[in-house]
Amino acid sequence: MVIDLEKFVLAERPYWAELEAMLVKLEADAALRLELKQLQRLHYLYERTSADLGKLVTFASEPETRRYLESLVARAYGEIHETREKPHRLAPLDWFFQTFPQTFRRHAGAFWLSVAITMVGVLFGLGAVALDTEAKGILLPFGHGEMDPAKRVAREERDGGKHLEGHKGTFSTHLMTHNTKVSITAMALGMTWGIGTIVLLFYNGIILGGVVVDYVLAGQTKFLIAWLLPHGSIEIPAILIAGQAGLLLGRALIGRGSRQGLRARMRSAAPDLVTLIGGVAVMLVWAGFIEAFLSQYHGPQLYAGKIAFGLVEVVLLAVFLARSGKRGSEFRVPGSESPLQTSTPNSEPKTQNS
Amino acid sequence: MKTNTLIIRTPEGIVFALSLAGPVTRFFAWLVDVACLLVVAQLLNSVIRFLGLVSEDFATALGILIFFLAQVGYGIGCEWWWRGQTLGKRLLRLRVMDAQGLQLQFSQVVIRNLLRFVDGLPGPYLVGGIACLVSQRAQRLGDLAANTIVVRQPQPRQPDLEQLLAGKFNSLRAHPHLAARLRQRVSPAEASAALQAIVRRDELEPSARVQLFAELAAHFKSLVEFPPDTTEGITDEQYVRNVADVLFRPRGKAASASVLQPPDTAVHTV
């Protein structure tokens, strides 16, 4: 077939321009919802432009026009075949109080696995430091290895938290950023089929177990609880949830028991990973504040209040994760971006490297 | 087999070809981004030093927080607002895309950027670089997790066709049916070769120039045979020039203006 190119382009160009104008509108405003007639028109223009592209593909001397049409069809294809809902408004409170706990509950198994791995580490740390005095210097970071708990308690009770005067803000943000980095790493290491996440959780468990047994053996249990509970009640669950996200990523990568392909599994897991790690970041901001502005103040008169505060936090967190967002529907296809949204496997495009 | 082109075939049978960006180009784009972050850090340092006069603790805390947010949020922010591009990627004409040609989702942008923490291990993007080299679609771990690819979108340099081809009599145009057949039979690669030969003719050695145009003319003559009176008395170079004129300027100046300049040639895929 020989095409009269000039006539062809002149005839079809208005349709291309119309399609492009619609695409620009759709891309600029994520909240835009087209009416049925507009959708039908978009679909018609997409099909017409696709047909034009099909005609031009065999036409030798029009690389530019062909590239333009390819770009246009690709954009329209993305709009028409995308089944995941676009986030059309910012709703941080809904996200934190509904989406986050719902996502957490949907993958509760991975969380309990994360807890179990950490507990094995805790037991290892407990045993190592209790049975081998030299292990303390090797296993415990942040100067705890060389520190005598009794001396530290005496010094800090005498000091009354003055050592942080003028540095609380810096200390707080340092804690927030450091712990968030560790959490992101715990999640990202899920790409090592979850092995890296397991190692990181296990190592954190060792440190926790080592510190706990060190202070308990030194007779400083009350100090230890009053020191760790106010911030640890949020910080430790946050790291465990980051581990949950890492294990989730590892599971998506391995795909055991799933009929979906790797790409489909990854596509499903991505929104949940982002939700979990976002929730972890919020929790760590809170923990960072508490650690800098409350946990480091020591004194026998403060311990009961600090422990009570920590216990209240534990209860509230447990209720939040177990109950928050229960009213809304939780029937949701795992990984889809909106409630009750299903994927359409038939529209999955075929890809190949050439 | 690992190649640098990804072909996407939609359910309707439409085919797109995307050029995948290799690890070296991506590394340079990353260097540009790092340089941008360093400049921003320097500027922020000055502001923070000024704030330090009021409260040193507050200024340091703010500095730590902002640097952290910039480190984590730069890629996420840029790639979300600029539809898959950071400053470095814009400069090197790269773009992050969904691996299946669908819309790039916010969760994909976040995941691929957060996984830099692993891709960056243990040195500057060693894990990510190796993954990129080994992966069939040149994906680092973050891309694999987010189901994204990084494609090259080079801006094709448009030769000035009016300068090159216009203003000369073209005997091939006397036979429009044969000219149409020629346009149909010549492949895009052959058309491009003819145009490139004309554009670069002055860079060639005289003997190589004669030989190149002789071979090209012979090839085009074998595709479509024009009557002898049309081709008599013109050199091989002029023949190739006439062929390119027919291919790239179907009906002279007016047509070339409408055909070769589509409304927006910027590739703005998905």
Per the CB < 8 Å rule, is A81 touching B102? yes
Average per-residue pLDDT in chain A?
83
Q: Looking at beta carbons, which residues of chain A come within 8 Å of B114? A: 184, 187-188, 277
Q: Give the pLDDT of residue A142.
A: 67
Q: Is residue A207 situated within a structural domain?
A: yes
For residues B260 and A14, the model is more confident at: A14
pLDDT in tens, A20-57: 999 888 877 766 778 899 999 999 999 899 888 888 77
Residues A55 and A174 in one domain: no
Please tell me whether residues B9 and B102 are part of one structural domain. Answer: yes
User: Token digits for A47?
Assistant: 């099909």
Please count the structural domains in chain A: 2
Percent of chain B having pLDDT more than 90? 22
Residues B72 and B136 in one domain: yes
pLDDT confidence band for A320 (50 / 70 / 90): very high
Whether chain B has a CB inside 8 Å of the CB on A353: the answer is yes
Alpha-carbon gap: A75 to the closest alpha carbon of chain B (Å):
4
Contact A244, A110 (CB under 8 A): yes
Q: Residues A72, A123: one domain?
A: no
Q: Which domain holds residue B91?
A: 5-152
Identify whether residues B14 and B116 lie together within a single domain: yes
Give contacts of B11 with chain A, Cβ < 8 Å. 81, 346-347, 349
Q: Of A82, A107, A140, which residue sits at a domain end?
A: A82
Q: Are residues B35 and B123 in the same domain?
A: yes
- Residue B270, domain member (yes or no): no
In a domain, A334, yes or no: no
Pairwise CB contact (< 8 Å): A188 & B115: yes
Contact A46, B170 (CB under 8 A): no
Do A188 and B270 count as a contact with CB atoms less than 8 A apart? no
What is the C-alpha separation between A121 and A197, in angstroms, rounded?
13
Q: Which tops the pLDDT comparison, A27 or B190?
A: B190
Q: Are residues B24 and B142 in the same domain?
A: yes
Task: Give a yes or no: residue A300 inside a domain.
Answer: yes
Same domain, residue pair B102 and B205: no
Asked whether residue B177 is domain-assigned, the answer is yes
Same domain for B200 and B132, yes or no, is: no
Given a contact cutoff of 8 angstroms between Cβ atoms, the answer to whether B114 and A278 are in contact is no
Considering only CA atoms, which of B161, B189, B182, B180 is closest in space to residue A8? B180
- In this structure, the answer to whether residues B80 and B172 fall within a common structural domain is no
Query: Domain boundary residue among A82, A107, A125?
Result: A82
Q: Is B176 among the domain residues?
A: yes
Tell me the residue range of the domain where A67 lies: 5-82
How many angstroms away from the CA of A257 is the closest CA of chain B? Answer: 19
Beta bridge partners of B252: B250
**Within-domain flag for A222:** yes
- With a CB cutoff of 8 Å and minimum separation 6, the contacts of B216 are B193, B194, B197, B236, B240
A71·B267 Cβ contact <8 A = yes
> Do residues A50 and A195 share a domain?
no
Q: Is the pLDDT of residue A271 over 70?
A: yes
A62 in reach of chain B (CB within 8 A): yes
Contact B118 A59 (CB under 8 A): no
Residues B47 and B13 in one domain: yes
Assess whether A43 and A130 both reside in one domain: no
- Judge if A290 and A172 occupy the same domain: yes
* Minimum CA–CA partner of A336 in chain B: B107
CB contacts, 8 Å: B19 with chain A:
none
Regarding whether B58 and B19 lie in a shared domain, the answer is: yes
pLDDT tens figures, A202-241? 999 999 999 999 899 888 899 899 989 999 999 999 999 9
A207 and A137 in one domain?
yes
Q: Are residues A60 and A201 in the same domain?
A: no
For B94, the enclosing helix (H) or strand (E) is strand B94-98
Res A327 pLDDT > 80: no
Q: Which two tokens stand for residue A169?
A: 């803000």
- Classify residue A93 by its DSSP letter: H
A281 shares a domain with A170: yes
- Across the interface, do B258 and A10 touch by the CB < 8 Å criterion? yes
Please check whether residues A56 and A112 belong to one and the same domain.
no
**Max CA separation in chain A (angstroms):** 94
- Please report the number of interchain residue pairs, chain A to chain B, with beta-carbon separation below 8 angstroms: 230
Lowest mean pLDDT among A64-68, A316-320, B31-35, B44-48: A64-68
Domain endpoint, select from A82, A103, A136: A82
Classify residue A260: in a domain, yes or no.
yes
Question: Same structural domain for residues B103 and B220?
Answer: no
In a domain, A237, yes or no: yes
Total number of domains in chain B: 2
Show Cβ contacts of residue B230 under 8 Å, excluding neighbours closer than 6 positions: B171, B172, B174, B175
Please give the mean pLDDT across all residues of chain B: 81
Partner-chain residue, chosen from B99, B259, B269, that has the shortest CB–CB distance to A62: B259
Same domain, A109 and A46: no
Residue A69 and residue A106 share a domain: no
Task: Tell me: do B226 and B141 sit in the same domain.
Answer: no
Instruction: Kindly state whether residue B130 falls inside one of the protein's structural domains.
Output: yes
What's the pLDDT score for residue B154?
Answer: 67
